[in-house]
Amino acid sequence: MSAERPVVLIGPMGAGKTAVGKRLATKLGLPFRDTDEAIVAAHGPIEAIFAEHGEPWFREREAEAVAEALAAGGVIAPGGGAVLHDGTAAGLREHDAVVVLLEVDRETVAARLVGGRRPLLAGGGIAEWERIMEARRPRYAEVATLRIDTSGRSVEAIVAELVGRL
Ligand code: S3P
C-alpha cells in the first residue's frame, strides 16, 4: 500500500469505524482522524448541532471535516452518513483513498450502539438503524474499494485481517 493514500473507514453507525480506525492507525504508524470528533471540537455536541441547525447543516460541516482530513492523510473515520455528500464521494476519488466498508449485522450493532452521539437513532433504535442501512447500502457499495465483515469480531481480529489486505 502506498503510504500517501488515505485509508477511510466507512459503514453504518456501530460498525466500529472509530475503534478499528484507532487501532489500525497505531499498527500502520499513521495519524488517526475522526471527523465527528473534529466537528464536536469546532461546533459542540452532535445531538445539539442536529437540534439547533438540522441535519443538512451538519452534513455541510461534515463534508468540510472530511475534506480537511483527506488533505492531511492517515486513517480517517468519518460519520456513517458522510459518504451521502457528493463532495465527499468526489473527494475520496480525488485523493485515491482506500475506502474500506466495515460491514456489520444487526445483532452486533444492537450490542454496540450506546450513547447520545446518534440523534438519528433517538426514536427508532435498531429498527431505524436497519432502515437507514438499507437506504445507504447502494452508496456504501459504490464508494467502497474494499469490504470487511466486522460482525461479532474483535477489533484486533478485524485490524489483523485489514492490515493483510491493504
Ligand atoms: C451519523 C453517524 C454518526 C454521527 C451522526 C450521524 C449517520 O457517526 O456522525 O450521529 O448519519 O450515520 P458514527 O457513524 O461514528 O456513529
Task: State the distance from the centre of ligand 1 to the C-alpha of 11, rounded, in angstroms.
Answer: 9
Ligand 1 pocket test: which of 8, 9, 10, 13 has the largest number of ligand atoms within 8 Å of its C-beta?
13
Atom of ligand 1 nearest to the CA of 78: 15
Tens digit of each residue's pLDDT, the chain (166 residues) = 445 899 999 999 889 999 999 999 999 999 999 999 999 999 999 999 999 999 999 999 999 999 999 999 999 999 999 999 999 999 999 999 999 999 999 888 887 775 556 777 777 788 889 999 999 999 999 999 999 999 999 999 999 999 999 9
- Residue 82 · residue 88 · CB < 8 Å: yes
| pTM for this prediction | 0.93
Which are the contacts of 10, defined by CB distance < 8 A and separation ≥ 6? 17, 78, 80, 82, 83, 99, 100, 101, 102, 140, 143, 144
Listed by start position, the domains of the chain span 7-165
ipTM: 0.97
Cβ of 85 less than 6 Å from ligand 1: no
Which CATH fold would you assign to the domain 7-165? Rossmann fold (3.40.50)
14 labelled binding-site residue: yes
Indicate which residue's Cα is closest to atom 15 of ligand 1.
79
User: Residue 33 pairs with which residues in a beta bridge?
Assistant: 76
Task: State the distance from the centre of ligand 1 to the C-alpha of 81, rounded, in angstroms.
Answer: 6
Task: State the distance from the centre of ligand 1 to the C-alpha of 119, rounded, in angstroms.
Answer: 8
Which are the contacts of 76, defined by CB distance < 8 A and separation ≥ 6? 6, 7, 8, 9, 21, 32, 33, 34, 35, 66, 69, 70, 97
Alpha-carbon 131 to chain mean position: 18
Atom of ligand 1 nearest to the CA of 118: 10
